Structure 1
Amino acid sequence: MRPLFLLLALGEMGLLFWLSSQPAAGAGLPHPWDKGAHFLAYALLGLFLRLGLGRFGPAFLGAFLYGLLDEWHQSFVPGREAFGLDLVADFLGAYVGARGAGRWEAPEASRP
């Protein structure tokens, strides 16, 4: 477990929560760019969690469940809505980030 990456993940979660708490007043990225932003945000979260936790399963699940929670939270913000395609982008980003972070880890056999 690497605390620095877990702190980075918590910081990103806070930033995502704050961003999704902002009422929409015509601001934001137009479709389809907003899906790319979701993908990148959750890929980064998946990467931080994987590097922090060291395992794919918990990192992917944590990032995806946070995306689900954030979409639900966003549905209560005036002018915002939870959108299924946003959740798909969150899911794919979390998967790619958590899976891709494994490329920088030492194989299990070589860990102390």
Structure 2
Amino acid sequence: MRMKRARESRERNNNPVYRYWRYLPAVAVMITIFFLSSRTGDQMDSWLPWAQKWLPFMTDFNPMHYVAYFGLALTLAFGFGKHAARWTGCVLNVAICVVYGITDEWHQSFVPMRSPDVNDLLHDAIGAAAAALLVYLIANWIGYRSTKNYTAR
């Protein structure tokens, strides 16, 4: 039974249609980031008081860069599957997020009352790196625990 499930899982993961569907959450996050970065400066400033009501420590939208790109990196890791737990997968994940962040900052240069900012890109990269590291650590910890040599104490 276990062999049959493993074979079915391999067949499903090798199916190109299934592999591409796994990236849909990442595409949804990218669309959301694009939509939010299309807002003008006045529109963003109208959201800040509402956000500060729920998160009083927030003085600007910098924490939202961490959150958005943390989410993007998690959804990309879902798309990568088991490859996200390798260091090359982590580097690729962060690189994709940074490239998307660069295009997002360039896009903001065309939005009224918005401008590209290197600090925003840094916050994007930190959020993506934190998510990639978290995926790497959790996946490898689970792999370590599933080895036969591990004994719970």
Q: Is the 8 A contact 1:75 1:82 kept in 2?
A: yes
Count of aligned residue pairs for this structure pair: 108
* Residue identity (%): 33
After TM superposition, the runs of 4+ consecutive aligned structure 1 residues lying more than 6 A away are none
Residue 67 (structure 2) pairs with residue 40 (structure 1): yes
Structure 2 gaps of 5+ residues are: 1-12, 14-18, 50-57, 147-153
Listed as ranges, the matches of 1:1-112 within 5 Å are: 3=20, 5-25=22-42, 26-29=45-48, 32-53=59-80, 54=84, 55-105=89-139, 107=143
Question: Please, what TM-score do these two structures have when normalized by structure 1?
Answer: 0.82
What is the CA-CA distance between 1:51 and the residue it aligns to? 2.4
Amino acid of the residue matched to residue 24 of structure 1? G
Q: Which amino acid aligns with 1:89?
A: H
Higher helix share: 2
Q: Is 1:46–1:59's contact at 8 Å kept on the other side of the alignment?
A: yes
Q: Please state how far the C-alpha of 1:105 moved relative to its aligned partner.
A: 2.8
Q: Highest relative contact order (Cα 8 Å, sep 6+), 1 or 2?
A: 1
Q: What TM-score comes out, normalization by structure 2 length?
A: 0.62
Q: CA deviation at 1:102?
A: 2.0
Q: Secondary structure at the match of 1:77?
A: coil
Q: How far apart, in 2, do the equivalents of 1:68 and 1:90 lie?
A: 9
Question: Whole-Å Cα distance in 1 between the matches of residues 46 and 123 of structure 2?
Answer: 20
Unmatched 5+ stretches in structure 1: none
